[in-house]
Structure 1
Amino acid sequence: MSQKLLAPLLGLACAFSSYSYAQQWQFKVEPYLLLTSIDGNSTIGTVDAPLAVDFDTILNNFDSAFMLQFAAFHQSNWAVMADWGYIDRSKSHQQARLGVLNTQVRQSVLQVALAYKQSSPNVGEWINYLGLRRWDNSYQFNLETNHFPQTSFVDRDEDWVDIILGFKIDKSITNNWLLSSSGDIGGFGLATTKLTGSLKVGVSYHLSDEWDVSLLYKGTYVDYDTGDEADSSYFNYQTITHGPIISASYQF
């Protein structure tokens, strides 16, 4: 009889333990739309001058990107945060003197960080974090010239990882409105990135205990190069990705 009672009691104990552990965590999922512009310069190997000249035009043709943020906060105030964004765009650009430039540019950025949360009446909720930001870029350019039978073609993949230090501040304005700001800096020349950083500012509106909506503006800068400038292995990427953000977050 005692053995028959022991099994369900152990089951209840395990279930209660799992529930108690889950109660120690709070999760936040936030998909958002970034209306993207990318300004800057890039050099890929020893490509023909017309291709290099048109790269700024290519970058400025991005329209939008879908991104997702996730955070898990423990009751000890420690947290794990992640931010992922992906852009993939193809476009043809006609130039009267040169020909048709067909492009496909993909940019993926994944950020993972360990964070600690604090709060005070004057500052609001303050989060400091240390993490990694991984860039994964792919470029395909095909120039169909007007004056030559052959075409110029470039197909290049570049990826790298940066160490970042950052912060996030949420300051209450009224009962439902928050002023939100966050930023980070990284690279520090530890690998091939000279400098990278981001800054985001805006407002959030508290709809309920579970839902928030936000309108912000974000900019991310990177200055990266690798290889020898004299040969085809060289790659330089110095850009600012920026634009307004519209997001909705769910907390549970």
Structure 2
Amino acid sequence: MTSSVLAGENYSVSDDITIATAPPADQWEFSISPYLLMAGLEGTVGLGGQNIGVDAAFSDIADKLEIGGAAYFEARKGKWGFALDGLWLKLKGNADLPTPGPVLESSELTLETVRAKALAYYRFYDKQTTSIDAYGGISYNYVDTQLELNGLANIEQRNTEGWFDPVIGLRISHQLSEKWFLRAVGEVGGFGVSSDFNWEAMALLGYSINDCWDLGLAYRGIGIDYSEDDFVYDVTMSGPMLGVTYSW
């Protein structure tokens, strides 16, 4: 079984001693993990020179989520691994404008976010029940923002932005028992290349059903601080994540 975002490791337990049973170094392992991310959004989106407050907690995100999906794929051979990670959310809700004005009857913000990453891993620590991977790669971020102002005159403003950022991070995996495992991921990126800064963090508790299937429950947070001309995207997405992994 691979060490993907949700998958556990292969371990055998005998006489209270846990021993890692690694596959041959020349054998490729693969895993795919579709998952649900009930992410709330909080921060500021600047559109047309006007800053709009975004505050949608994950507890009421079901009322605002129009469509969303996410998936993770990993291939590993020995100490090296390669992964693709994708997230897509489309939300719609009332816009929090600083000065709505007396002639404004309503305002609505539609925000579509795509985040895709291509990553390369290297496992530099692998002892008994604990392993640590360092990784680096490229993230692509796409934001489609649409603001509708309804009043004496109906006004629609729309802006789309897409950019690439470098990212680096660490992933720590620890096997609690034959079935249960923990995983933590920390990542930073941007560094002024496109975003001023971005970060990602995740803590996961997983359960191995068998050699092919795992379940995972996690909490994930993503922060992006990007600005270009009069467009601002300074937003944090965070919330629980539930997924399943198939490994072969």
TM over 0.5: yes
Describe how 1:110-149 pairs up with structure 2 within 5 A: 110-121=116-127, 124-145=130-151, 149=152
Q: Which has the higher helix share?
A: 1
Distance in 1 of aligned mates of 2:27 and 2:194: 40
State the one-letter code of the partner of 2:245: S
Going from structure 1 to structure 2, the CA distance change for 1:58 and 1:156 (only over 3 Å counts) comes to farther
Counterpart for residue 22 of structure 2: none
- Structure 1: gaps (5+ residues): 1-22, 228-233
Q: In structure 1, the residue corresponding to 2:210 is in which secondary structure?
A: coil
Q: Percent identity?
A: 21
**In the alignment, is the contact (CA less than 8 A) between 1:42 and 1:237 conserved in 2?**
yes
1:186 aligns with 2:184: no
Aligned residue among 51, 55, 67 for 2:70: 67
8 A Cα contact 1:85 1:110, kept in partner: yes
Offset from partner CA, 1:52-82 (integer Å, 9 cap, x none):
44x424787743632100000013x211111
User: Displacement of 1:88 after TM fit?
Assistant: 1.6
- Please report the RMSD computed on the Cα atoms of aligned residues, expressed in angstroms: 2.4
Q: Is the 8 A contact 2:54 2:95 kept in 1?
A: no
Q: Structure 2: which 5+ residue stretches go unaligned?
A: 1-25
Counterpart residue number, 1:244 = 240
Alignment-derived partner of residue 115 in structure 2: 109
Question: How many pairs were matched up?
Answer: 214
Q: How far has the Cα of 1:31 moved from its partner? A: 0.5
Q: 1:56: which partner in 2?
A: 54
Contact 2:129 2:175 in 1 (8 A): no
Letter in 2 for 1:215: L
Tell me if structure 1 keeps the 8 A contact 2:41–2:56: no
- The answer for the alignment partner of 2:220 in structure 1 is 218
Match of 2:87 in 1: 85
Instruction: Indicate conservation of the 8 Å contact 2:145/2:159, yes or no.
Output: yes
Correspondence for 2:34: 31
What SS does the corresponding residue of 1:56 show, helix, strand or coil? strand
| Equivalence for 2:9 | none
Structure 1 match to 2:160: 157
Per chain length, whose mean CA-contact separation is higher, i.e. which structure has more relative contact order (CA < 8 Å, sep 6+)? 2
